[in-house]
A and B are shown apart, each in its own frame.
Chain A
Amino acid sequence: MERAVSLDSSLGTGARSIPSGRRLWRFHGGVHVPDEKSLSNAEPVTSAPLPKRLIIPLQQHIGAQARPLVRIGERVLKGQMIAEPNGYISAPVHASSSGILVAIEPHPVAHASGLSALCALIETDGEDAWAELPEPLVHYAQLDPTLVRERIRWAGVVGMGGASFPTSVKLNPGTDRQIQTLVINGAECEPYITCDDRLMRERAAHVLEGVRVMDHLLGVSQVLIGIEDNKPEAIESMRDALAETDMPGYTEIVPIPTLYPSGGEKQLIRILTGREVPSSGIPAHIGIVCQNVGTAAAVADAVLEGRPLISRIITLTGRAIAAPQNLDARVGTPAGELIAHCGGYRESARRLICGGPMMGFELRHPQAPITKATNCLLALTRAESPDPGPTLACIRCGRCAEACPAKLLPQQMYWYARAKDLDRIQDYHLFDCIECGCCAQVCPSRIPLVQYYRYAKTEIWAREQERRKADQARARHEAKRVRLERQEQERQARLRRQKAALDAKPADGKAGKQALIEAARRRAAAKKAAAGRSGAQSADRP
C-alpha cells in the first residue's frame, strides 16, 4: 500500500532505456494506481444509438461561447453549423444529427460546477440526413496553411484530451515562434479510460494522417508520439501504420513508462524531450506543440473528409456498469442513454464521474449531454470508491510533496488555503498546480487537497475580479470628482469675474449696469455662435 508512491521517480533527471532506444526523462513524483484498463479495452468501438433528443451545449471549448445561427423550429441537418465561433478563441458547434431545433435554453451540462449552460435542443427525425459538406482537402500540402487552419476551425475541432482548447488556434503559433517538435499525446495515463487506446488500435492510419496535417501546418522537424507502455497493442498498431507512411523519417512512436500523470501535457513534454514548459507559459514558448491522438483523428476528419466534429469515442466503464465498453457517440447524447445502452448499472453506482478517477468530476445530472471533451463516463462501485472516512489533521509526512509532479509543497498550500492566506499560497506556486490529484491520493490523513486548491484558485480569481471592479469604480469616481471640482472652480471663477466687473465701476451706476448688460449680451452671442459651430461639426461626422 505505502509502496504505491514511486519514490525513485523523484530522482528528477534519470534516463531510462526503453525498446525504442530514445532517451527518456523522468518527471518528479507521480503515482502508480491500478490502471483498470482491461475492464473496457477488449471490445472494438461500436456506435451508440441515435438519441431521440440531442442536447448540444454551445460552449464545449475554452474561450467565448458560440453564437447560435439557427432559429427555433428550424430543421437542421447532420453536420450543419448551428452556432458560429464568437471571436478568435472560440469554436463552432454543429448538429450531430438531423431534426428540428426545438429550443436554445439552459440545460444541465457536464461541468464540475454542476451548473446549467446554454444548449441547443434538437428533436431528431431518425433520418440522420447529412448537410452539404465542404470539399475534402486531400491535397492540403499544396494549399495555403491558412486555408487548412480555416477548415479545422470550421469543423469545430478542439483538444479532445480534456482541455478542449480550439485546435486551429493551437496550430497557429504565429510567425515569430519557431516550432520544432510536435508531441502527440497517446499516453492516456488516467486509470480506466481506454478510448485513445481503442482509437490507436483501430484507426492508427487515420490518426497518423491527422498528425501529418498538423505537422504540415507547423512545419516541425520531429514528431514524437508518446504512448504508455501498458498499451502494447496500440503501440504496435501505431508502429505498423507508421511504417506504411512517408513519415518514419521524422516521426517516432515512443513507449513511455506507465506512471500517472505522464499524459499531462507538461509531464509528457518533459518525458519525451527533457524540457520544462515554463511556469505560466505554454509549450510553444519552448518550440513545442502538444496534441492528443483523438484531436489528430478529428483533424483528419475535418481536412481529409470535410467532416465537422460531431461525435467522439467515449469509454463507459467502472464496475457499476453492466457492460463496460467504448462507444462512438454523438456529441449531445445524454449520459444516461449511453449508460442504458451498456446495460445500465450492475449495482448502484456510488459515483458517476465524468472523466477519469483522478481528475474527473462527479456528474450530478445523469441527463447531462456528452461533449467534444468527454472521454469517459465512469460509474464506480462503493468498493472502488469507498467513503474516505473522516479527514485527519495533516501530519506533515511529505508524501504529497513526493508525489507532486509539479514539484510543489502541497502540505504548505493546504495550510495556507485553510488559513485563507491567499497571498502566501501563491508564494508556494498554487497556479502551477495541475490538479492531478496525486497528493490527495497518497495523503494518509485523507485530506481532499485538490478541493482546497480549487477553492483557493477560485477565491483568488474572484478577489482579482473584485479588485479590478473596485479599481474601475475608483477610477470612475475619481474622474467624476475631478470633473465636479473643475466645474465648481469654473463657476467660482465666473462669479469672481462678474464681481470684479461690478466692483470696477461702483460709482457710475447706470453706465456700469449698461456695460454689464452689454457684456452679457456679447457672451450670449458668442455662446450661440460656438453652439452653432459645434453643431455643424457634429453634423459633418458620419
Chain B
Amino acid sequence: MKSAIVSSPHLAPVNRVDRIMLQVLLALVPGVLAMTWYFGWGLLINIALAATFAVLAEAGVMLARGRSPFAAIGDLSALVTAVLFAISVPPTLPWWLTLLGMLFAIVLVKQLYGGMGYNPFNPAMAAYVFLLVSYPVAMTTWLAPGVLAEHGLSFMESLGLILQGTLPPGLDWDAVTAATPLDEMRGKLDEGWSIEEIRQSPLWGQFGGRGWEWIAGWFLLGGLYLLWRRIITWHIPVAMLLGLLICAGVAWTLDPSRHPLPTFHLFSGAAILGAFFIATDPVTACTTKKGQLIFGAGIGAIVFVIRAWGGYPDAVAFAVLLMNIAAPTIDYYTQPRAFGHGGGRQAR
C-alpha cells in the first residue's frame, strides 16, 4: 500500500521508531560512561568503529537492494546494534573483528532476513556469539578495571592496540588484562577453590566483580529510564532477573561453597545490560505479556545454567539467542483472552 493513507485514524501518530531508538541510545549513556571510566578509551573507540561499520553496511545493503539508504539508517536501529555490540566485546578488540561482527550482524542476521523487523535473532548478540566461537581468545581478553590495573591505557595507546594490535613499549598483556569476575569464578571453582577463598581475590567487589558492579548499576539506571519513558515494559527485565536470581538462589542455598551469592550473578557480566537492553529488543522478543514473562524467565534460567555448568563463563548472548528461537511459539500459545471471549463479569 502507498504512503497516502486514507484510512482512519487521521491524527499525527504519537510514536516513532527513530525516537524510540534514540531513547534507547540515551539510556545507554550512563553505563557507557561508567564502562569508559573503568576500562578506558577502547570502549569509545569501539563504539565509533562499530557505528561506522554498521551504518556503512546498512547503507550498502539498501543500495544493493535498490532502496534509499536514508530511511533504514534514519530509524537508528543499526546504531543501537552497534553500541550494544561494542559494549559486549572487550575494549581492546582488534578493529577487523569489529568489522566482521558488524557485517555479520547487519548483512547476515538482519538484512538477509528482510531487514528491520523481520530478523528472528538479535543481531548484536548473534555477532557476539559468532566471534566468540570463532575467535575465543580475542573475545575473552579483557582489560583489568581501572581500579585494579597497574597501568591504564591512554587514548593513543588504546587506538594503537585496536588498530595495530600493539601494546605500548614496556608493557605486556599481563600488566593490562585481568580475568573477568565470571571467568575468575569459573576457573577457580573448576580448580576446586571454595567461594570463600575466591572472595579474597581483589577482583571481588561488594556483591559482584569490582568495577563491574558499578557498571551494572549505571546500566540499571538507564533501564529504569526506559521503563519510566515507557519505551519498554517491566515484564522481560523483571522476569529475566527474577529467573536468574531464583535459580542462583536455589543453587546457593543448596551448596553455598560451590555457588556464589545470587547478587554476584546480577552484578557481574551482562545480566543487567541484557535484561534491560538486549532481551527487550522488541523485534526478537515475545510480544504478548504472558509470553514476555516466559521469555524473560527462560533467559534468566538459561544464563544461570550456562554460567554454572556450561562451557562459557557468560551466557547472556547464548540465552537470548536460544529464547529468540522459541519466541514465536511462545507468542502463539500465550495469546491474551480477547474482549468478549469468556472471563470478565459475564455470568450474573
A residues whose Cβ falls under 8 Å from a Cβ of B: 1-5, 7, 27-28, 31, 33, 191, 266, 270, 273-281, 286-287, 351, 353, 355, 357-362, 378, 380, 384-399, 401-402, 405-409, 411-412, 428-429, 432, 435, 437, 440-446, 448, 450-451, 454
Contacting residue for A450 out of B7, B17, B77, CB 8 A: B7
28 intermolecular pairs with C-beta atoms under 8 Å apart: A2-B15, A2-B20, A2-B23, A3-B229, A3-B230, A5-B230, A7-B230, A270-B339, A270-B344, A276-B345, A277-B340, A279-B338, A279-B339, A279-B340, A355-B8, A358-B8, A359-B8, A362-B6, A388-B13, A393-B116, A396-B283, A398-B233, A401-B336, A407-B337, A432-B339, A443-B13, A444-B17, A448-B1
Considering the chains assembled together, what is the distance between the CA atoms of A385 and B4 in angstroms?
12
| CB atoms of B344 and A392 under 8 A apart | no
* Residue of B whose beta carbon sits closest to that of A406: B339
* Residue of B whose beta carbon sits closest to that of A287: B348
Return chain B residues, CB-CB under 8 Å to A446. Answer: 13, 16
Enumerate the 7 nearest inter-chain pairs by beta-carbon distance, A residue then B residue, closest first: A393-B117, A451-B7, A437-B9, A279-B340, A444-B15, A276-B344, A4-B14
Closest chain B CB from A282 CB (angstroms): 11
Interface size on B, residues (CB 8 A): 48
**B66 interface residue, CB < 8 Å from A?**
no
Return chain A residues, CB-CB under 8 Å to B116. Answer: 392-393, 395
A273-B345, A395-B77 given; 9 more Cβ-contact pairs under 8 Å: A1-B16, A351-B10, A358-B10, A390-B3, A392-B75, A407-B339, A432-B341, A440-B9, A451-B7
| CB atoms of B230 and A2 under 8 A apart | yes
* Residue of B whose beta carbon sits closest to that of A390: B3
Considering the chains assembled together, what is the distance between the CA atoms of A378 and B19 in angstroms?
29
| CB atoms of A392 and B9 under 8 A apart | no
Closest chain B CB from A286 CB (angstroms): 7
**A442-B13 contact, Cβ under 8 Å, with A276-B340, A395-B282, A451-B5:** yes
| CB atoms of B115 and A393 under 8 A apart | yes
| CB atoms of B15 and A396 under 8 A apart | no
Per-residue 0/1 for B316-332: is the Cβ within 8 Å of any A Cβ (1 yes, 0 no)? 00000000000000010
Return chain B residues, CB-CB under 8 Å to A280. Answer: 340
| CB atoms of B229 and A2 under 8 A apart | yes
Return chain A residues, CB-CB under 8 Å to B8. Answer: 353, 355, 357-361, 435, 437, 440, 450
**B171 interface residue, CB < 8 Å from A?**
no
**B137 interface residue, CB < 8 Å from A?**
no
| CB atoms of A399 and B11 under 8 A apart | no
Contacting residue for B9 out of A3, A286, A357, A391, CB 8 A: A357
| CB atoms of A275 and B344 under 8 A apart | yes
| CB atoms of A5 and B345 under 8 A apart | no
**B312 interface residue, CB < 8 Å from A?**
no
Closest chain A CB from B306 CB (angstroms): 26
Return chain A residues, CB-CB under 8 Å to B115. Answer: 393
Return chain B residues, CB-CB under 8 Å to A432. Answer: 338-341
Closest chain A CB from B40 CB (angstroms): 34
| CB atoms of A397 and B20 under 8 A apart | yes
Closest chain A CB from B286 CB (angstroms): 9
**B12 interface residue, CB < 8 Å from A?**
yes
**B118 interface residue, CB < 8 Å from A?**
yes
Return chain A residues, CB-CB under 8 Å to B201. Answer: none
Chain B residues 242-295 with CB under 8 Å of chain A are 282-283, 285, 287-288
